[in-house]
Chains A and B, each alone.
Chain A
Amino acid sequence: TQLLEQSPQFLSIQEGENLTVYCNSSSVFSSLQWYRQEPGEGPVLLVTVVTGGEVKKLKRLTFQFGDARKDSSLHITAAQPGDTGLYLCAGAHAGNNRKLIWGLGTSLAVNP
């Protein structure tokens, strides 16, 4: 089974702290996406990474794709309460670009 493992599963931090969420797999992905999902809503795409070693920044969020394209990380600087939500990583394999393999998610709570 091609799985994506996310860690940590839960994270509760104070406003202003930094954090990193990890997404790991034993298989190679042609692309990997990060989503954020809030209660009662569907996931919203944050970023897509496709090149090994690629780094993308979205304001205070920094996304990195591993050199071997098997893992990725999401780093949030100076977290704010508005960052609270479920962060999901999802990968696509070269042989099946229509199907996303999803991690279980990291539930982040940023306390004021």
Chain B
Amino acid sequence: DAGVTQSPTHLIKTRGQQVTLRCSPISGHKSVSWYQQVLGQGPQFIFQYYEKEERGRGNFPDRFSARQFPNYSSELNVNALLLGDSALYLCASSSGQGVYNSPLHFGNGTRLTVT
């Protein structure tokens, strides 16, 4: 079975632009979470979607938004990009909502560079 797939793998944008990142979960997984990982740090939680509804949100500005589609794939949108948005954006899928009984499976991420 295919794992979590993310696209694109790398992206370069300039300040003020908008970006859309895409994620396809493992087949059968209904939950998708998004994380931001700045170089040298652990991941920071951005959003969780389960059954197409937002179930959790981290401490990120409203410039960050996401959605989940009927096929459980997901998009993360970031508007008005700042230099500080440069990071690895990770998508993780799981079968359920809770992290204990539904282990997260991560994709390899999208490396976003804002210049």
Binding site for B on A (CB under 8 A): 4, 30-31, 33, 40-45, 48, 50, 88, 90, 92, 96-100, 102-105
Contact = CB atoms under 8 A, between A and B. Distances in A.
Nearest to A91: B99
Interface stretch (B60-68, B72-80, B101-109): B101-109
Contacts of B104: 45, 100
B109 A104 contact: no
Contacts of A100: 43, 45, 99, 104
Given A42-B107, A43-B106, A105 B42 contact: yes
Interface string B43-59: 11100100000011010
A44 B106 contact: yes
Contacts of A104: 40-42
Interface string B61-97: 0000000000000000000000000000010100001
A48 B103 contact: yes
B42 A90 contact: yes
Contacts of A43: 43, 90, 106
A4 B43 CA distance: 12
Interface residues of B, number: 25
A48 B100 contact: yes
Contacts of B108: 40-42
B98 interface: yes
A111 to B, nearest CB: 21
A40 B107 CA distance: 10
Contacts of A90: 42-43, 99
Given A42-B109, A44-B106, A98 B99 contact: yes
Contacts of A97: 97-100
B107 A105 contact: no
Nearest to A97: B98
Contacts of B106: 42-44
A14 B65 CA distance: 45
Contacts of A45: 103-105
